[in-house]
Amino acid sequence: MKRYLLGLMGGVFAAMAMIVVLSPAGAATATGTVRVEWHALPMINFSLTPNYNAGYGAVLATFGTQPAPTHGPGATGVGTGTVDFGTTLSGDTYLYKYAAHLHVTTNDTAGFLVYGEAAAVLTNNSNGDTYAGPTLYYLNSGASSDSNTGFTPGLPFATTTGLVSGGTDSITNPATITYMTYPSPVALSASANGDFYYDYQFRVPGAATGGNYYLWIVYTVVGE
């Protein structure tokens, strides 16, 4: 499965409102206080890094000693490429270690919310078959250590009800989501900055046939 993971929402928002009192030329003016108000909406910047630590890759759900992680050719190195599970078997479960690091900075002292949703269902790019229902899950990981296995419970990426544009299996055409109403966040922070580290868990449908699979996950960050 080739899993394309991109930062698709960048936000820099600013607005100003100003109240100014003016007097006509030559007219008598009274002294007093003029109040000028500036209102600035939050500025948000974030980066999304795949394969963020050495040892990244997919591990088959296994009891006992864990096999070494492996990955497909799309995962080209630490911090680069895509989250590529490589060759998987239908009906099996795989954990992808060190899949994604989300780094957020904002001037919003109230914090921010992180939304993560699938822009499409799991799709076989070889024949166009699709598989409804959750197949990709996320788990909290660490910056440089990770104790998760393929049996660690994960939370599913839901398929969005927002408006999706773009999003083929090509890295040059990333998917985006426009929300009318926001879903439940996958993470939140009460402070202005934050880092989030995730593993991904792929539960391969038992009915999946041979082919090259992809699934877009879109992250959106919104200030409180």
Using H for helix, E for strand and C for coil, what is the string for the chain? CEECEEECCCEECCCCCCCCCCCCCCCCCCCCCCCCCCCCCCEEEEEEEECCCCCCEEEECCCCCCCCCECCCCCCECCECCEECCCCCCCCEEEEEEEEEEEEEECCCCCEEEEEEECCCEEECCCCCEECCCCEEEEECCCCCCCCCCCCCCEECCECCCEEECCCCCCCCCCEEECCCCCCCCEEECCCEEEEEEEEEEECCCCCCCCCEECCEEEEEEEC
Q: What is the pLDDT of residues 145-175, one digit of tens each?
A: 999 999 999 999 989 989 998 877 666 778 8
Q: What is the CA radius of gyration of the chain?
A: 23
pLDDT of residue 125: 86
| Average pLDDT estimate for 27-37 | 60
For the chain, give the mean pLDDT.
Answer: 82
| Average pLDDT estimate for 56-84 | 93
pLDDT of residue 89: 92
pLDDT tier for residue 37 given thresholds of 50, 70 and 90:
low
pLDDT of residue 16: 35
What's the longest Cα–Cα distance across the chain? 89
201/197 Cα distance (integer angstroms)? 14
Phi and psi dihedrals of 162, rounded to 5?
Answer: -75, 175
42/44 Cα distance (integer angstroms)? 6
Higher pLDDT, 197 or 41: 197
16/202 Cα distance (integer angstroms)? 46
4/48 Cα distance (integer angstroms)? 11
With a pLDDT cut of 90, the percent of the chain lying above it is: 52
pLDDT of residue 174: 81
1/214 Cα distance (integer angstroms)? 6
pLDDT of residue 175: 87
Q: What is the pLDDT of residues 176-213, one digit of tens each?
A: 899 988 999 999 999 989 999 999 999 999 999 999 88
In this structure, are residues 111 and 105 in contact, taking their beta carbons and an 8 Å threshold? no
- pTM to 2 decimals? 0.80
63/153 Cα distance (integer angstroms)? 14
Q: What is the pLDDT of residues 87-129, one digit of tens each?
A: 999 999 999 999 999 999 998 888 999 999 998 888 888 888 9
